[in-house]
Amino acid sequence: MAEARLQAGLVQSKAEIVRLRERMSVGMPTVHKDLSLISLVPKWSDSETAIPLEEFLASTEGAAKIGRWESPDQLQIAVFRLVDPAKSFYNACLELHVEDTTWQKFKEVFRERFKDLYTNQYHFTKLQMVRQAKKERAQEFADRCRELAQKIMCKSQLYNSPAYSLREHMLLPSFVTELTGFLADSRVC
């Protein structure tokens, strides 16, 4: 009786192995993509209140990596998450509607179209004039100053590069001069 059950289990296992081999030979993926991660990609529009384009692209790439999306999926999801005027631009841009459009091409076209129109001097002036808000914590103010400093120089600069060092030297005086709260209290001591 036990031997008959073992024999039946062995036959089922062999049949399952044959089915799995057939699936692999046909090329059916054994790992499925997780499209539920679409919600991690924020909607994006070129407006003052929108997140920066680079953040939108990075979140799309991050969700794609975790969800095992292929490049065409990544591209289509990014398009789904566009809202006006970015959606209008996409709809009017014929070069993005050709069949072999890649994710890289999409990024290039959007970076060119929605690049920062302000000069480095404008961002430098904004950094020099930054003030800590009344109820803003020191760490929040530091993050805001760092974000302004990153707009002055390319974010892709290496940490040990002279440009990174220069950016940090521009950031520090702006942060320290306008910091209120515990640093102001510690100067008294």
Give the start-to-end residue ranges of the domains of the chain: 35-113, 120-188
Average pLDDT, the chain: 78
pLDDT score at 18:
85
Q: Say if residue 183's pLDDT is above 60.
A: no
pLDDT at res. 189: 39
- State the pLDDT at residue 184: 46
Residue 164 has pLDDT above 70, yes or no: no
Average pLDDT of 51-55? 83
Band (pLDDT 50/70/90 cuts) for residue 26 is low
Average pLDDT over residues 90-103: 91
Q: Give yes or no for residue 118 having a pLDDT over 50.
A: yes
Q: What is the largest CA-CA distance in the chain?
A: 89
Instruction: Please tell me the pTM assigned to this model.
Output: 0.56
> Cα dihedral angle (19, 22, 27, 29), rounded to 10 degrees?
10
